[in-house]
C-alpha cells in the first residue's frame, strides 16, 4: 500500500535517493527495472510525494551498492520520515529549519496562521520584523531580508498561496516597534488584506469563553495531495508535525476560531481605524 507523504522529511529522503541514483549514472527507468517497481513510483519516492516502503528502500540501496554507513544513514532518514513531528532546538528564522519552512510555504496551496501575539510573519513589514528580531541580533539584517523575501508566496502574480490570518486584537496595538513602525505595519496589513488571496480576521481579546487561539500560535500548511503539516514555534524551539493523528487535531481549529472572530470586512475596518488613530497621535 502506498504511503502518501509529502512531509519535509520524506522530501529530504527523496532528495538523497535522487542524488545516489544520479551519482550512480542511472535514470529512473533503469532504477525501476533493477528494483521491480514502476518508473512512476521511483519519481514519487524521489520527490517525497510518497514515502518509500522500507522493503523497497532496501532493494533500492542494494541496486545502488551503497556502503554500510550510507545504508544506515538512509534507513535512519526513512525511520524519521515515518515518525511523528519532533521538537527541535532552533528557530525557523535562519538556517536549515528556515529552508524547510520556505519549501513548505512555496509548495502549499493554503496557509493558515493562528497568531494571538503579534502580526504573522508573512504579513510583517521589514521594520516590524526588525523590531521583532532586535537590533542586538548579529544576524538581524539577514533575517529581515529573508522574511521580506518570503512574502513573495502571497504577492506573486502566478498561483499565489491562499492565506488566512487569524489575529488577536491585542496584536494590533501591542507596541512591538515605535508608533511610526506600528502605523506603517497596520497600513501594510490593510493592503495585504485587500489582496484577493488573503483573508485577515481579527479575534476580539474580549470575546467571552475559551477558544483554541488562547492555547497559542501555530501555522497550518495545506497541499494539493500531501498530508497537511503543522508548525509550532516557541521562543528558540520549533516543531513540524506531520503524522496524520497529530495533524488531525488541528484541522478544525481555524473554523472554531472563526466563529468568534470578526468578519473580514469588520476586521479590515477595525485595522484601518486603529492605524488612523496611530497616525494622528
Domain endpoint, select from 33, 63, 82: 82
Count how many Cα atoms sit within 13 Å of the Cα of residue 187 in the half-sphere of its side chain.
Answer: 11
Using 50, 70 and 90 to split pLDDT, how confident is the model at 79? confident
Residues 99 and 73 occupy one common structural domain: no
State the Cα–Cα distance between residues 208 and 212, nearest whole angstrom: 13
Instruction: Give pLDDT tens digits for 239-256.
Output: 888 777 888 999 999 999
Residues 103 and 237 occupy one common structural domain: yes
Least confidently predicted of 79-83, 101-105, 277-281: 79-83
Q: Is the pTM of this model over 0.85?
A: no
Residue matched to cell numbers 533493477: 34
Residue 85 in this model has a pLDDT that exceeds 70: no
Average pLDDT on 44-57 reads: 85
Number of domains present in the structure of the chain: 2
CB 160 within 8 A of CB 153: yes
- The rounded radius of gyration (Å) of the Cα atoms in the chain is 22
pLDDT (0 to 100) of residue 91: 66
Torsion of CA 179, 184, 185, 186, to 10 degrees: 90
The CATH number assigned to the domain holding 270 equals: 3.30.870
Residues 69 and 158 occupy one common structural domain: no
Instruction: Give pLDDT tens digits for 254-276.
Output: 999 999 999 999 999 999 999 99
Average pLDDT on 38-45 reads: 90
Residues 135 and 213 occupy one common structural domain: yes
Domain endpoint, select from 50, 82, 114: 82
Residues 107 and 29 occupy one common structural domain: no
Residues 22 and 133 occupy one common structural domain: no
Residue 227 in this model has a pLDDT that exceeds 80: no
Using 50, 70 and 90 to split pLDDT, how confident is the model at 151? very high
Domain endpoint, select from 31, 62, 82: 82
Least confidently predicted of 36-40, 171-175, 225-229: 225-229
- Show the domain range for 77: 3-82
Question: Beta strand pairing status for 50-51 and 3-4?
Answer: antiparallel
Residues 127 and 28 occupy one common structural domain: no
pLDDT (0 to 100) of residue 118: 97
Residues 111 and 233 occupy one common structural domain: yes
Helix/strand/coil for 218: strand
Residue 84 in this model has a pLDDT that exceeds 60: no
Estimate to the nearest angstrom the gap between the alpha carbon of 230 and the chain centroid. Answer: 7
Residues 72 and 102 occupy one common structural domain: no
Average pLDDT on 155-161 reads: 94
State the Cα–Cα distance between residues 189 and 275, nearest whole angstrom: 10
Helix/strand/coil for 49: coil
Residue 90 in this model has a pLDDT that exceeds 90: no
Residue 186 in this model has a pLDDT that exceeds 60: yes
CB 47 within 8 A of CB 14: yes
Amino acid at each position: 500500500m502506498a504511503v502518501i507523504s509529502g512531509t519535509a522529511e520524506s522530501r529530504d529522503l527523496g532528495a538523497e535517493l535522487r542524488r545516489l541514483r544520479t551519482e550512480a549514472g542511472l535514470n529512473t527507468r533503469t532504477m525501476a527495472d533493477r528494483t521491480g517497481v514502476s518508473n512512476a513510483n521511483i519519481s514519487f519516492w524521489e520527490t517525497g510525494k510518497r514515502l518509500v516502503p522500507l522493503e523497497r528502500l532496501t532493494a533500492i540501496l542494494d541496486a545502488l551498492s551503497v556502503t554500510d554507513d550510507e545504508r544506515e544513514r538512509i534507513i535512519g532518514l526513512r525511520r524519521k520520515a515515518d515518525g511523528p513531528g519532533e521538537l527541535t532546538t532552533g528557530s525557523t528564522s535562519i538556517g536549515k529549519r528556515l529552508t524547510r519552512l520556505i519549501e513548505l510555504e512555496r509548495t502549499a496551496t493554503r496557509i493558515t496562521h493562528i497568531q494571538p501575539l503579534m502580526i504573522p510573519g508573512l504579513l510583517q513589514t521589514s521594520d516590524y520584523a526588525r523590531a521583532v528580531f532586535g537590533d542586538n541580533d548579529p544576524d538581524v539584517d539577514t533575517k529581515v531580508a529573508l522574511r521580506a523575501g518570503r512574502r513573495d508566496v502571497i504577492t506573486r502574480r502566478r498561483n499565489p498561496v491562499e492565506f488566512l490570518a487569524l489575529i488577536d486584537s491585542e496584536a494590533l496595538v501591542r507596541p512591538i516597534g515605535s508608533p511610526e513602525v506600528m502605523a506603517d505595519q497596520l497600513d501594510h496589513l490593510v493592503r495585504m488584506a485587500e489582496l484577493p488571496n488573503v483573508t485577515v480576521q481579527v479575534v476580539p481579546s474580549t470575546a467571552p469563553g475559551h477558544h483554541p487561539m488562547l492555547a497559542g500560535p501555530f501555522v497550518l500548511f495545506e497541499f494539493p495531495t500531501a498530508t497537511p503539516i503543522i508548525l509550532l514555534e516557541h521562543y528558540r524551539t520549533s516543531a513540524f508535525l506531520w503524522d496524520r493523528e497529530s495533524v488531525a487535531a488541528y484541522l478544525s481549529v481555524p473554523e472554531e476560531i472563526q466563529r468568534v472572530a470578526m468578519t473580514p470586512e469588520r476586521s479590515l475596518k477595525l485595522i484601518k481605524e486603529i492605524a488612523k488613530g496611530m497616525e494622528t497621535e
